[in-house]
Amino acid sequence: MEEASRIDLPDAAGADFEVFVNGVRQLPGADFKQEGRTLVFRQALAREGKLGFWRWLSIFLGVAGTYRRNDSVDIVYSQGGRRVVATLTPTTIASADPP
């Protein structure tokens, strides 16, 4: 089983929108597929999560930084004649049939 990620589109986003992952434009069909109001990505997108006490202490003391993967998903759409950017949190799922 491969992992994939899901993003639910904002309610205000119409049919015309753009998708960016870490600032790189994603193309429908090649990078993700749309299932209703949900986008399903081929790759697993990661969020850094909470930092524990020892990680915070090491960052505070300047011993180490945080180098974990932290993907950002931005949806750009028009609302009231203005371009709006929504930054969303991906959900990772196990999928036997990736998009």
Query: In this predicted model, what pLDDT tens digit does every residue of 32-83 receive, in sequence order?
Result: 999 999 999 988 886 655 666 776 677 677 776 666 677 889 999 999 899 9
Rounded Cα distance, 17 and 77, in Å? 5
- Nearest in space to 41 (alpha carbons), one of 71, 84, 85, 13: 71
Q: What is the pLDDT of residue 26?
A: 95
pTM above 0.85, yes or no: no
Whether 37 contacts 88, CB under 8 Å = no
Rounded Cα distance, 29 and 46, in Å? 21
Dihedral over alpha carbons 84, 92, 39, 99 (to 10 degrees):
150
